[in-house]
Structures are given as C-alpha cells and as structure tokens.
Amino acid sequence: MKTESRLEKVLASGALAVTSECGPPRGVVPDKVKEKAELLRGYVDAVNVTDNQTAMVRMSSWAASILLKQIGIDPVFQMVTRDRNRLAMQADIIGAYSHGVNTMLCLSGDHPHFGDHPMAANVYDLDSVQLIQAVVKMRDEGKFQGGKDIDHPPKMFVGAAANPFADPFELRVMRLAKKVRAGVDFIQTQCIYNLDKFARWMDGVCERGLHEKVHILAGITPMKSAGMARYMKNRVPGMDVPDDIVKRMEGVPKEKQPEEGIKIAVESIERLKEMEGVHGFHIMAIEWEEKVPEIVEKAGLLPRPEI
Amino acid sequence: MITAVRKPMEEIIACVAPYDRILLVGCNECVSVCSVGGRKEVALLASALQMHFLKQGKTMDIKEITLERQCDPEYVEELVNLTDGADAILSMACGCGVQTIAGRYREKPVFPAVNTTFMGASERQGVWSERCQGCGDCVLGITGGICPIARCSKRLMNGPCGGSSNGKCEIDPNIDCAWQLIWDRLKALGLERRIEDIMEAKDWRTSRDGGPRKIVREDLAS
Amino acid sequence: MTKAFEPEIVAFCCHYCAYTAADMAGSKRLSYPANVKIIRVPCTGKVDPIHIMKALHKGADGVYVAGCLEGDCHFKTGNIRAAHRVRRVQALLEEIGWDSRRVEMITMSAGMGERFAQTAREFTEKIRELGPSPVSRAGQEAGRQAVS
C-alpha cells in the first residue's frame, strides 16, 4: 500500500469501489456538509468534496474534507489548479493531510467564465497533470516542487478525472496515458450515458494495458427529469447524452421521470460492471444525494467492504 | 504586434476636460497597423474631441502629432518643443509609449487614449487574435507552433481539458481549442506520440512572475 | 433680423452611380436643393471616417455618402465598406453627444436621377428639422443656436 487511504484498500482488495460527491455549502454552517455526507454513510467508500465547483466560491474543500473526516467518513479532497499557485496547493495538501485527509483528486477546474466570479484571476500555475506529478513527488520522493525535502511528507492516494467524451476522441486514451505516466492511482470519469462510446474508450485503455496501472471508476449521474437530460445533452460541454436516453426520459410521465432516471443509472452500472478495467463507480447525484443509497443497493453494490 | 482598442470617449473626455490645450500623440508602429492610434486615428479623435467640446461651448486646442515610435526616447524627444504649449498629453500609443512620454516629460500629465490589449497577429482585415504572452521561455517548438499559454483559456501545458468540443473552447464557440490545433498540427507533422510527453511544471520566473523584466545587451548598451 | 436656417450638406457621391445620377437629375431638370454640395469620389470605399468627421467639424450640418446598390460596386465591396464606416462615425457621434442622424449612407444606381433628387430633398429636410449642428457655419450665419 502506498497510503492509508480507505479507497486504496478497497480497490486493492479487488472489490468494486463506490464513491460519491458532496458540494460544500456557500456559507459557514458545518452541519450542511455533515448532513449531506450522512446520507451516504455505509453506502460508499469515500465522498468527493468539490473545490469551488463550477467556479463558484464555497467552503474550501480541505475544510469540508476535515469535517467529513471528523464524523468518520472518508473524503476525496478535490483540488483545482485554477485558484491557487503551487505554494498554496502544496500547503493545502500538507494541511489537509495533517488532519487525516489521505485521498485527493487533481483537476484543472472549470474556467472562471462559468461561475459567479468571472472577473477573478485565472491562476493555472500548474495543470492537472502537473498537479498529479507534484502530489506524487511529495509522497514518493518527499520533495516540494522547489526541490527541498519535506519534513514528514503527506502520503496521498492520488486521483484524477478523465472525460472519454470530449473532443478529440482519438486523444482521450493518450491523455489518460499521460495521467498514468504522471503517477495517478485512480480515475473518476465524466458521467457516462453513451455506453457504446465509453466501451470503445475502455477498449483503447485496455489495449494499452492502462487498466492494469490505474483504477478506473465509471462516472454515473442519475437524471431527475427529461429537462435535465436535454440540458446535459445540449448545454454541458464535454457531455455525451444519446438521443435514445433523452427519448426514454421523455417517454414516461413527469412524476415517473426520477424513477426512470434511477433505473437508467442502475442499468448502466450493471453493464459497466461487465467491462474489463472498470474497478468501481463514482456516483454524482447532483443535489440528489439521498438517492445514492437506492442506486448503490439496486445495483448490487452492497454491502460495502469492511476495511 | 501589440494590439489596442480605443477607450470609450466618455473616459477620454473626462481625462482631458479640465484642460484647454492638449497635445495628442499617435504612434506609427503597432497601433497604426491595428488602426487604433496612427495618424488617421489621431485626426479622428482630435475632431471628435473638439466637436464634443464645441457643443459644450468650449474651444479645445488640440495639437496633433504622430511619432515614428512612441516607445523610443529618440522619437519622443521630438515633442520637446510642443509640450510647453500643452496643458496635458493624450497618447494613442500602447502602454509602452505612454510611459516613455511620462518618463520624459515629467511635469505634464499624460493620459492613455487606448487600452493596450495583447500581443497578437492579424487573422484578416480588421481581426486580430492573441498569440503570445511573452512568457520568456518559448515552447512553440514542441507544441507544433501553437502556443498553449496564450491560446488555451486555462493555459494548460498538457491539454486538452474535458471541455474541448468540436475543436472549440468551452468558454466561447468562437475560440479555437488550442490543444485541438496542437493535436492537428502534430498529426500533420507525424509527431502524434509527442502529445504524451508530459510538459513539466513551467518555471514562470522568465515570465512576469519573476518581476519586471529587462533585457540588457552588453554589445549594444555599452 | 435673422436669416432662415439653410443647412449645408456634404454628399460624397460615387463616380459610378450617385454622381452620374446627379448628372441625370440635372439633365432631366429635376430640381434638388442647392444645400447639397457634391464631392465626387472614385468609389464610396474611398471615403474615410475622417472625411465625414472633418466635414462636420468644419461646419457642415449633415453628411451623406451615396454609393452603388448592394452588389453593384465597381470595386466589389467599396460601398459595403463605406456603410461600415458610416456606422462607425454614427457611433462616434453618439459617443460625443451629437445626433448620429446627421450622417447617413444611401445607395442608388447611375440611372436613378429621380432617386438622387428625392434623396437630396429628404436628407436636406431631415437636417433642416434637426437644426444647425453644434458648430454649424450656416447656423452661425443665420444667428441660430446649436441644438444637437
């Protein structure tokens, strides 16, 4: 084991891992984080804590991660390179680790253009690949970016994101290979609706043996309504929602749509389980966290392994 | 070249309103080429300002001059006999020109009439795009001649991000995804494998982050 | 006693259309106001914003650029360019607090003598209604105050 991360242990055991997500509040009330996470207790192995998601200011991800740690839920501390330079990022990694946060996710982050602070400076001192390298260097070499030794380095289990659906498609396996080369331990993918395209990507991943070097958790987001399906299809960059999914959502009465969305999610998990290289699931139920247990249960992912 | 756009007239008017005699100085270099601060634009701004103030019942005395290069002390020296007759100087050059004037004529207030925008290239008549951020450590040789620092919205060194869609950037469908361009170009050059080489964290000291930069060429400066 | 205000108008006329149309209006004895001073240009694409601005600055009450019908420019797109420049000047006038209606782009063909005369009448009438420009020469002669 490289780290004390629960997620690492679950993945090492060969079990399918399950992670979910919790967006910190836009204010100071700690109970809001805890309440969201409580809904997930016992159903997932770790909970991602987003970092100024969609470029909107929220409680910092390391602070919210510590709140989760305090109630015995394992956080995946997300870090975007958009908001701080390498000094601040390394400092936050050390700080979070000192509070027991041992799993993190390295992202570049949404451009400020999308949030409510479009006037903010766009830092990007590092990009996501370079952040992976930085965290791995801290862990494996015990060194800072500047080259000096760290006095008791943080041992983070390092994750990153992959979007198999962004353009150019032909580059998507290569980009994963690059993150693997940077030393990433696990990957959480963009939400998967186009399973055929995902399967093609996974074929490419397996062909190069990347699935043996990195744990891939397939991204799942249940649709609440046909409107959400249309929105994701048309408005969210890098999202691939096939027409038949939209039609299927539209084909049931409005009050039945949430149920249909969950059904689709469960069916997707069932199919993804069969794909070589899929080592788990990252279930992102946006402002719908209470449905995660139902999905996990229906998809036959219970009980979660005791580590 | 350095590109610029004219400031809103309201802002320019507010700057010069307290004065009666203005020396309006254009530049024959970059801002002439991008049609914002050359001889023609100087004449146009002079007329516009005078017309505005005439409507207010005020005659504004504006002397027009366009220097060969406003960022060069040698040319800025040409203003020496004109500044006495002016209460303020209005410059239509980039920020370098404005500062060269401010440094030379310390007793005169100097105002910029344009917003200096970026280092860019002309795409076609009337269209300029950012191409270089002067990072001081050029990577174009390994990115197929397309700069990820100037042209990727997140200046990713290992792109593209997940927001690249049909060759366009997620923040604006009018912006090409720099990494799609890099990829296309590497393919054309038969250098596909290079996309997997990790570009290491950049040393920003050569850029603005190392403090204001200076070039001293001993062979020329001595 | 003050004289009635007679606006001074500058018309930049393309040699291939509006200028010829003006000729035709003359030969057909179609009357148009003497207020309009014609400046012949080889193409309206030759008219720069500075020409329009200087005309106004020096005291013209209105300026129009008369070019070929769309698609008929002898130099392909000179008239389109002229239209863009007129819009630019109109925007600039708005920015300095002048009435942008003092400047206009008009198109016609060489055979439209009647249209030339009619346009000259209409534009003159419009400017007469707007009154003297803030720096109007004619307005000063008429002892009238600037309005816009």
- Beta-bridged to residue A140, according to DSSP, are none
**Residue C1 confidence (pLDDT):** 45
Give the separation between CA B83 and CA A115, rounded to whole angstroms.
48
**B2-118 sits in which CATH class?**
alpha beta
Beta strands B2-6 and B114-124, pairing class:
antiparallel
Positive or negative, the CA dihedral B125, B130, B134, B138 is: negative
Is residue A265 scored above 90 in pLDDT?
yes
Does residue B194 belong to the interface with chain A, where contact is any CB pair within 8 Å?
no
Tokens 């404005």, residue located: B98
Q: Is residue B158 within 8 Å of B194, Cβ to Cβ? A: no
Spell out which residues of chain C touch residue B10, defining contact as CB-CB under 8 Å.
95
DSSP code per residue over A215-251: EEEEEE-----HHHHHHHHHHSTT----HHHHHHHHT
- Contact check, Cβ <8 Å, B154/A145: no
pLDDT digits (tens, 9 = 90+) for A51-90: 999 999 999 999 999 999 999 999 999 999 999 999 999 9
pLDDT at A117 > cutoff 60: yes
Which of C18, C139, A293, A123 shows the shortest CA–CA distance to B156? A123
C92 interfacial to chain B (CB closer than 8 Å): yes
pLDDT reported for residue C144: 60
| Per-residue model confidence as pLDDT tens digits over B146-199 | 999 999 999 999 999 988 889 999 999 999 999 999 999 999 999 999 999 999
Share above pLDDT 70 across residues of chain A, in percent, rounded to a whole number: 100
Q: What CATH number is given for C9-141 in this structure? A: 3.40.50
Q: Is C27 exposed, middle or buried (0-12, 13-18, 19+ CB in 10 A)?
A: exposed
Residue B164 in tokens:
């690249």
Q: Which residues of A touch B143 (CB under 8 A)?
A: none
Q: In the predicted model, what is the mean pLDDT of chain B? A: 96
Q: What are phi and psi of C93, to 5 degrees?
A: -60, -45
* Candidates B43, B48, B55; nearest CB to C92: B48
Q: What is the pLDDT of residues A197-253, one digit of tens each?
A: 999 999 999 999 999 999 999 999 999 999 999 999 998 878 999 999 999 999 999
Q: How confident is the model at residue A35 (pLDDT cuts 50, 70, 90)?
A: very high
Cβ separation B52–C96 shorter than 8 A:
yes
Residue of B nearest to C51 (CA): B44
Please indicate, yes or no, if residue A126 is contained in any of the structural domains.
yes
* Predicted local distance difference test score (pLDDT) of residue C148: 53
Q: Which of B13, B41, B47, B52 to mutate to test the interface with C (most CBs of C within 10 A)?
A: B47
How high is the mean pLDDT of chain C?
A: 93
C-alpha span between A70 and A27 (Å, rounded): 19
pLDDT digits (tens, 9 = 90+) for C19-75: 999 999 999 999 999 999 999 999 999 999 999 999 999 999 999 999 999 999 999
In chain C, residues 52-91 whose CB comes closer than 8 Å to chain B: 53-54, 56-57
Chain A nearest C-alpha distance from B16 (Å): 29
Query: By the CB < 8 Å criterion, does B81 face chain A?
Result: no
CB contact under 8 A, B165 and A133: no
In this prediction, residue A307 carries a pLDDT of: 83
* Model pLDDT, residue A171: 93
pLDDT digits (tens, 9 = 90+) for C124-147: 999 999 999 999 988 787 766 555
Under the banding of pLDDT at 50, 70 and 90, the label for residue A286 is confident
Evaluate whether A111 touches A82 at the Cβ level (below 8 Å).
yes
Q: Domain-by-domain residue ranges, chain C?
A: 9-141
Enumerate the residues of chain A whose CB falls inside 8 A of the CB of residue B204. 125
pLDDT, chain A, mean? 96
Buried b (16+ CB within 10 A) or exposed e, A254-285: eeebbebbbbbbbebbeebeebebbbbbbbbb
In this prediction, residue A158 carries a pLDDT of 98
Do C135 and B51 lie within an 8 Å CB cutoff? yes
By CB atoms closer than 10 A (0-12, 13-18, 19+), residue A111 is buried
B156 interfaces chain A, CB cutoff of 8 Å: yes
Task: Compute the average pLDDT of residues C88-107.
Answer: 98
Chains A and C touching, counted as 3 or more CB pairs less than 8 Å apart: no
Angle subtended by helix axes A128-136 and A86-98, to nearest 10:
50
Cβ neighbors of A262 (< 8 A, separation 6 or more) are A222, A291, A294, A295, A298
Query: Cis (ω within 30 of 0) for the bond into A168?
Result: yes
The enclosing domain of A163 has a CATH number of 3.20.20.220
pLDDT given for residue C4 in this prediction: 84
Minimal CA separation from B97 to chain A, in Å: 26
**Which pairs from C80-86 meet CB under 8 Å and 24+ separation?**
C81/C44, C81/C45, C82/C44, C82/C45, C82/C47, C85/C47, C85/C48, C85/C49, C85/C52, C86/C52
Question: What is the total count of domains within chain A?
Answer: 1
Residue C2: pLDDT band by 50, 70, 90 thresholds?
low
CB spacing of B48 vs C54 below 8 angstroms: no
Nearest to B28 by CA among B63, B72, B61: B72
Chains that touch A (3 or more CB pairs under 8 A): B
Interface contact C146, partner B, CB < 8 A: yes
Lowest model confidence (mean pLDDT) among A237-241, B3-7, C5-9, C12-16:
A237-241
Asked if the structure places residue A303 within a domain, the reply is no
- Residue A152's domain comprises 6-298
Chain A residues whose beta carbon lies within 8 Å of the beta carbon of residue B160? 166-168, 171, 175
Q: Across the interface, do B183 and A168 touch by the CB < 8 Å criterion?
A: yes
**What per-residue confidence (pLDDT) applies to A17?**
98
Residue B131 Cα distances to A56, B124, B173, B205, C16, angstroms: 29, 14, 18, 20, 42
For residues C88 and C100, the answer to whether their CB atoms sit within 8 Å is: no
